């Protein structure tokens, strides 16, 4: 299994956990009369963007780690 695929699966699992927690708070936000439409979408977008960048950076580092180790000579 490719490193990127594993990272993508981890990102989907983290997104699922995030949505479970988010939807559990929607009822609370509705009772407190907060903006329960805008806040979840902003946090969801921010979470998915940060997750995408984290998965991308980790997969790039892991893919090029052997090249970096050979270049340094360790």
Structure token digits, residue 66? 């052997």
Share of the chain above pLDDT 90, in %: 0
Report pLDDT for 10: 80
Asked if residue 63 has pLDDT above 80, the reply is yes
Q: Whole-angstrom distance between the N-terminal and C-terminal Cα of the chain?
A: 26
Residue 62 neighbours by CB under 8 Å, 6+ apart? 3
More confident residue, 66 or 23: 66
What's the predicted TM-score (pTM) here? 0.48
Question: Mean pLDDT across the stretch 24-30?
Answer: 70
Report pLDDT for 56: 80
């Amino acid at each position: 299994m490719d490193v990127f695929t594993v990272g993508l699966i981890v990102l989907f699992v983290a997104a699922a956990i995030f949505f479970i927690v988010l939807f559990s708070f929607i009822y609370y936000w509705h009772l407190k009369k907060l903006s329960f439409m805008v806040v979840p979408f902003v946090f969801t977008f921010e979470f998915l963007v940060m997750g995408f960048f984290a998965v991308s950076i980790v997969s790039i580092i892991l893919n090029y780690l052997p090249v970096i180790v050979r270049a340094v000579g360790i």
